[in-house]
Amino acid sequence: MTFDALTGVLVVPAVAAALLAALPDYRATARLNVAATTLTLIFALSLFFGRPQPGSYLLVDDLNGTFIVLTTFVGFTTSVFSASYIGHELEIGRLTPPFVRFYHAMYQVLMFAMNLALIANNIGLMWVAIELATLTTVLMVGIYRTHEALEAAWKYFILGSVGIALALFGTILVYMAARPVVGEGLDAMVWTVLVKRAGEFDPALLDLAFVFLLLGYGTKVGLAPLHAWLPDAHAEGPTPISAVLSGLLLNVALYALLRFKMLLAVNPAAIAPGPLLVTLGLISLVFAAFMLYRRRDIKRLFAYSSIEHMGIIAFAFGMGGPLANFAGLLHMTMHSLTKSAIFFAVGHITQVKGTQRIADMGGLTETHPMLGWGLILGVVAIAGLPPLGIFMSEFLVVSSTFARAPLLAIILVFGLLVGLAGLFLRLNSIAFGEPRGPAAKAQASYVPMFAHLALVFAAGIYMPAALVAWFQNVAVLLG
Amino acid sequence: MSRIDFDIAHLLAGTLVLISFLELYQDRLYALLNIYALHALTLAASVAWQAFIQDAPHLYVTAAIALVFKAIVIPVSLHRIIVRLGIHREIEKVVGVGPAMIAGMGLVALSMVVMLRVTQSADPLAREDLAFALSVVLLGLLMMVTRRNAVGQVVGFMSLENGLVLAATGAKGMPLVVEISVAFSVLIAFIVIGIFLFRIRERFDTVDVQALDRFRGERR
């Protein structure tokens, strides 16, 4: 096997994980972590210029190319943020050097698992990769070993495993459906083969398989009512992991669902997967929007906001059609960038304030203008106000829905508005008013946060024609 | 396929469902572990039989993993953990034995109805195997729901995985990658769980998950 960009995306994190587990010095490993994610990003970008032929295990097409670049980019910026975040955690003694070593190694394993899940052409391999990603994040969520962290990790582990188990059952059913048509053996699990022949599969088996896959991977996406693990896991783990969970891992699980949705779309006799996604999406959106009001923990607040946005994205892909798919893709990209930027800000804020309680922080714009305004900008973006990128994608989702299903659009807009008000209610007490809590100077790296926000801002003002064309192409592919 | 092959495959898969019911009403941890070992043993036999009738030698590997790892290593280690932690032997259950058994029967009926209707075109061995497998999966889920004890939940999860292995081996010619991955994931899952149990012990002096419940939800 020759060494190409595709293997690079996998080999670099794997090698880095082994190295990071072996090296003791924290400063060197933090830098090595950044270097590894940079290299992975370069390999991912080079996939644009030449991509290998799909094999029976790996595949790069326009759809997962988008996901891979997004994943490696956010993985890179998060590693930069993580270097300064972890430095502070070491200083205050919340983490000890062995745990930091473990943390860095796990970070790279997670990157490896997510990349593998994205480029897998084999539905069994994809399942293995998502399972690996789940296990590494479980370990990282529990890394602080406090009561809350352990409870969150346990809950995440149990719910995640059940989800993963159901997804495997769904995967087996897909194989059962494919076997009479494709024949026994490896080919019946290769996605490119499956999607060509899916029209001849037994529709009843495919339906059942999709229900299991939807419940299984849907748990990992965090769609209500399968979301129970998500707020705890976000709140109790290290903040870089919250950023990666929200920005990337939820997307990866959604990507798996999209692949199977495309499979069902080929078979005219199978159920339409769209309405299922639309329903779950709307439930998540409205439920999470209301949950924003009673949050007292800043990381939980943004975790619920992630559920809300995954709901919107699932809704958009569920509606289908070139325009809604385009909006869904754009929204997913913008949400990843914005939400990770918010978590970068939140990470530094909680370190400065020494707490995650919203009641104990206030007047951030006075005491820490950079962090305060960064957070405001992030929340303005995530709430979907113009002129930032999320406004555009939400506008597209809403307008395309109004044209096709006005009733659904009304629910959608209602959920969006409720969520917007909830976020600003909380933001107000955090960013403005009397300064509360410690006002020590923050040792923060602002570059990743503002880089993300600048991208989101730029996308709201002007989208390059090449990017639009790329997204349109993928949207058509999604059907 | 001869009649007797079919019958034995059925017998083994059906026994697995039956043992799932046995697990459902155990109220002592040691007994639960023993029953789980029996569950894994039956699985190993069932997989080995599938390997024989399908003439698929790689399935013997899966059977061996089930036998050595699931039926021996895991129960023994969990046994040791229980001894070392000195945790109480009674398992607290959320619902009583009666309702749990009735719910279990409902789930088995459900999986029969769903699977047999859906898989009419598949070959009879595979479809009935799949129906049994789904029953085992659902019973495992039920067990996880009805147990408060962390060890009980873990055993529930592992019997759920056994159901998945049964389904995977019943699907004729399914590539090896999945079988290994299933066994492998159990391995990893077990390591994780082991770590968790010890960590929970460090902090709480109990593995009763209910003791963690007061940390649920918002911080106060």
Residue pLDDT, tens place only, A254-303: 999 999 999 998 888 888 898 999 999 999 999 999 999 888 899 999 99
pLDDT of residue B39: 94
Q: Which of A161, A172, A188 sits opposite B189 (nearest CB)?
A: A161
Check whether A475 has a pLDDT greater than 50: yes
The answer to whether position A340 is within a domain reads: yes
Cβ within 8 Å, pair B122-A128: no
- For residue B161, the chain A residues in CB contact (below 8 A) are 165
Chain B residue whose CA is closest to A301: B218
> Percent of chain A having pLDDT more than 70?
99
pLDDT of residue B191: 55
Segments forming the whole domain that contains residue A388: 272-479
Stretch B187-215: mean pLDDT:
53
Residue A93 is given by DSSP the state T
The answer to whether position A263 is within a domain reads: no
Q: Which of B119, B150, B200 sits opposite A205 (nearest CB)?
A: B119
Of the pLDDT bands very low, low, confident and very high (cuts 50, 70, 90), residue B187 is low
Stretch A174-184: mean pLDDT:
87
Of the pLDDT bands very low, low, confident and very high (cuts 50, 70, 90), residue A144 is confident
Of the pLDDT bands very low, low, confident and very high (cuts 50, 70, 90), residue B194 is low
pLDDT tens digits along B76-121: 877 877 777 666 556 667 788 889 999 999 999 999 998 888 777 6
Instruction: Identify the weakest region by mean pLDDT among A76-90, A223-237, A290-304, B163-177.
Output: B163-177
pLDDT of residue A67: 92
Q: Which of A234-243, B55-64, B171-180 has the highest mean pLDDT?
A: A234-243
**Angstrom distance (rounded) from CA B51 to CA B217:** 48
Of the pLDDT bands very low, low, confident and very high (cuts 50, 70, 90), residue A252 is very high
Of the pLDDT bands very low, low, confident and very high (cuts 50, 70, 90), residue B205 is very low
Å from B125 to nearest chain A CA?
12
Count of alpha carbons within 13 angstroms of residue A343, beta-carbon side: 34
Check whether A122 has a pLDDT greater than 60: yes
Check whether A437 has a pLDDT greater than 60: yes
Q: Label each residue of A52-76 as H, E or C.
A: CCCCCCECCCHHHHHHHHHHHHHHH
Q: Which of A169, A176, A188 sits opposite B164 (nearest CB)?
A: A169
pLDDT of residue B218: 43
- For residue B188, the chain A residues in CB contact (below 8 A) are 132, 135
Stretch A131-136: mean pLDDT:
87
A352 against B81, higher pLDDT: A352
Q: How many CB atoms lie within 10 A of CB B55?
A: 7
In angstroms, how far is CA A161 from the centroid of its own chain? 18
pLDDT of residue A124: 86
pLDDT of residue A204: 87
pLDDT of residue B183: 55
Of the pLDDT bands very low, low, confident and very high (cuts 50, 70, 90), residue A327 is very high
Cβ within 8 Å, pair A162-B144: yes
pLDDT of residue A49: 81
Cβ within 8 Å, pair B196-A154: yes
pLDDT of residue B217: 45
**Angstrom distance (rounded) from CA A362 to CA A433:** 6
Q: How many domains does chain A have?
A: 1
Of the pLDDT bands very low, low, confident and very high (cuts 50, 70, 90), residue B203 is very low
pLDDT tens digits along B113-158: 988 887 776 677 778 888 999 999 999 999 988 887 777 877 888 8
ipTM: 0.85
Computed over every residue of chain B, the mean pLDDT equals 78
The answer to whether position A445 is within a domain reads: yes
Distances (CA, A) of B65 to A56, A301, A433: 26, 44, 62
Of the pLDDT bands very low, low, confident and very high (cuts 50, 70, 90), residue B202 is very low
Cβ within 8 Å, pair B196-A142: yes
The structure tokens listed for A275 are: 């309405």
pLDDT of residue A74: 95
Whether residue A265 contacts residue A203, with contact meaning beta carbons closer than 8 Å, is answered with no
**Angstrom distance (rounded) from CA A6 to CA A9:** 5
Helices A97-119 and A5-22: crossing angle, nearest 10°? 160
Check whether B201 has a pLDDT greater than 70: no
Classify burial at A406, counting beta carbons within 10 Å of its beta carbon; exposed 0-12, middle 13-18, buried 19 or more: exposed
Check whether B32 has a pLDDT greater than 60: yes
Count of alpha carbons within 13 angstroms of residue A438, beta-carbon side: 12
Distances (CA, A) of A44 to A64, A71, A132, A325, A343: 11, 9, 21, 23, 24
Stretch A139-151: mean pLDDT:
83
- For residue A202, the chain B residues in CB contact (below 8 A) are 119, 121-122
Cβ within 8 Å, pair A147-B203: yes
Check whether A429 has a pLDDT greater than 80: yes
B200-219 per-residue burial string, b: 16 or more CB within 10 A, e: under 16:
bbebbebbbbebbeebeeee
pLDDT of residue A479: 77
Å from B181 to nearest chain A CA?
6
Instruction: Identify the weakest region by mean pLDDT among A73-87, A133-147, A195-209, A414-428.
Output: A133-147
SS3 B147: strand
Whether residue A329 contacts residue A66, with contact meaning beta carbons closer than 8 Å, is answered with yes
